Amino acid sequence: MNKFKQITNQGFTLTEVIVVTFVIGIFAAMGTPNFFGYLANQRLNETNEQLYGVLINAQQKAMKESSAYTVALQQDGLIPQYKVYPKQTSVNTIPNSPSWQDLAKDTDKFNLVLTEGSKIIFDYQGKIHPESQLKTNEKIIFAFQNDSPAFKKCIIVKTIFGYLYTTSDDNCQ
């Protein structure tokens, strides 16, 4: 029996470590733009779904209270905002007028595009009121200010009965 054990070098050479680090760096560089695009798309989804919920709630409130309700939209800088109030009163004359609510957090790059007007009015039956600025087959579109990546989300007022639906990208043209 040999009293001395053979000592072997274990580990990686510097060249192997550099090559593996380089390959990992390439994969990370390829995946980063996709990840940021994914995050941007998720933020647009969140904003679109939030406004869709606001519109549906206003429509249900109009039916529940048998009174017309208005959802007003505006863009404060690059932040889309909304306000919900009864139709029969002007925004400026409502006692304790509701304040403008931001649609989503972290919206420094969003652009709100309204095809016609900035108000949608639901009558007491939840239908689109004749005085509504947003009419049938018109869209509320969310997109990025610089269109890069070119994600778009929108809400379309489909019928006079107040049917709303959300869609994205090519359907938002």
- We report the CATH number of the domain holding residue 102 as 3.55.40.10
Residue 33, domain member (yes or no): yes
Report how far residue 173's alpha carbon sits from residue 169's, in angstroms, rounded to the nearest whole number: 7
**pLDDT tens readout for residues 40-68:** 778 878 888 888 899 899 999 999 999 99
Sign of the alpha-carbon dihedral angle for 9, 15, 20, 24: positive
Residue 118, domain member (yes or no): yes
Say if residue 4's pLDDT is above 60. yes
Compute the average pLDDT of residues 128-142. 77
Residue 6, domain member (yes or no): no
Residue 68, domain member (yes or no): yes
Residue 38, domain member (yes or no): yes
For position 18, what pLDDT does the model report? 95
Percentage of the residues of the chain whose pLDDT score is greater than 90: 14
The parent domain of residue 68 ranges over: 14-172
Residue 7, domain member (yes or no): no
Element containing residue 30 per DSSP (H, E): helix 14-65
Residue 88, domain member (yes or no): yes
Beta bridge partners of 85: 70
For position 30, what pLDDT does the model report? 85
